[in-house]
């Protein structure tokens, strides 16, 4: 799965799970509260069948970071 495909999926997950919100530009913590962040992470884990580790959550400062984390999990053996 390409980063573009992951981004498109994330945009749809945001619309579906964050009351129609779009993916924020910039720092996630400036645009999403803790409940919204958790909701997004759970929807990502469910959709991609992956599990975010605590260090993943700490590293997920922006949408681009989240895309890289998802790609790393998907590419892992």
- In this predicted model, what pLDDT tens digit does every residue of 60-72 receive, in sequence order? 999 999 999 999 9
- In this predicted model, what pLDDT tens digit does every residue of 29-52 receive, in sequence order? 888 899 999 999 999 999 999 999
pLDDT for 9: 97
What's the rounded Cα separation, in Å, for the pair 77 and 39? 26
pLDDT for 61: 94
**13 C-beta neighbours (distance < 10 Å), count:** 19
Q: In angstroms, what CA-CA distances link 42 with 27, 33?
A: 19, 14
Domain boundaries, the chain: 3-75
Tell me: pLDDT of 20 over 80.
Answer: no
Tell me: pLDDT of 26 over 90.
Answer: no
CATH of domain 3-75: 1.10.1200.10
């Amino acid at each position: 799965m390409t980063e573009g495909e992951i981004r498109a999926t994330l945009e749809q997950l945001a619309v579906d799970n964050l009351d129609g919100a779009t993916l924020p530009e910039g720092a996630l913590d400036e645009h999403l509260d803790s409940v919204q962040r958790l909701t997004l992470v759970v929807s990502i884990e469910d959709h991609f069948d992956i599990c975010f580790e605590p260090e993943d959550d700490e590293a997920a400062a922006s949408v681009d970071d989240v895309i890289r984390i998802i790609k790393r999990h998907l590419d892992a053996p």
